Amino acid sequence: MMRISPPFVAIPRTNGSVAARPPRHPCSFAVRASPSAAMNTDRLQQLRALLAEEPGDHFLRYAIALEHKRLGGTDQAIADLEALLHDAPQHIASYYQLALLLAGTGRSADALHVCEAGLLQCIVAGDRKARAELQELRNTIAEDA
């Protein structure tokens, strides 16, 4: 059994092992300052630096796309996600985000196509949860189109 030092909290994992993390402050979720513009670009620069070290890391590419989306760079986020899906069609989360962005820019037909491609990948991967989420998104986009 793993011994946890007092400043840490034990977290049981599904495989029977135990992880440790620092305890959360009781107000950590209640108060959040909005990030400054400098912090926004710093995060993007950090992600790009990590990607330069690990160019094959699909999650980092996904994180960069989401950061562009968060910063209002919709076109760049779309381009990033399209490139990621071209290189890694098995990255299922990217289909959902790309479809959301496309639908948000009025490209509903493209968004529906992305949902369909993502649904096929969900079937191949056996990912029922992602499949249900993509199906719901597809239905919503189809109703709004």
Tens of pLDDT, residue by residue over 69-114, are 999 999 999 999 999 999 999 999 999 999 999 999 999 999 999 9
Average pLDDT in the 52-75 region?
96
Residue type, 40: N
113: left (phi over 0), alpha (psi -120 to 50) or beta: alpha
pTM of this prediction exceeds 0.85: no
Query: What is the rounded (10 degree) CA torsion for 134, 139, 140, 144?
Result: 140
Q: Please check the confidence at residue 33 and state whether its pLDDT lies above 50.
A: no
- Residue in this structure with the two tokens 């993502």, named with its chain if needed: 118
Whether the Cβ atoms of residue 91 and residue 118 lie closer than 8 Å to each other: no
d(CA 40, CA 55) in angstroms, rounded, equals 22
Average pLDDT in the 2-18 region?
55
Q: Provide the mean pLDDT of the chain.
A: 84
As given in the structure block, the two tokens for residue 24 are 């959360």
Distances (CA, A) of 134 to 3, 40, 64, 87, 111: 42, 29, 21, 20, 11
Residue 41: pLDDT band (50, 70, 90) is: confident
Average pLDDT in the 51-55 region?
95
- 109-139 pLDDT, tens digit per residue, is 999 999 999 999 999 999 999 999 999 999 9
Domain 38-144: give its CATH code. 1.25.40.10
Q: Please check the confidence at residue 57 and state whether its pLDDT lies above 70.
A: yes
Q: Please check the confidence at residue 10 and state whether its pLDDT lies above 60.
A: no
* Nearest CA among 50, 52, 62, 69 for reference residue 90: 62
Q: Please check the confidence at residue 6 and state whether its pLDDT lies above 80.
A: no
Instruction: Please give the share of the chain, as a percent, with pLDDT higher than 90.
Output: 70
pLDDT of res. 102: 98
* Helix boundaries (H) for the chain: 37-53, 58-70, 74-87, 92-104, 108-125, 128-144
DSSP states along 36-55? PHHHHHHHHHHHHHHHHH-T
Q: What are the residue boundaries of the structural domains of the chain, listed by start?
A: 38-144
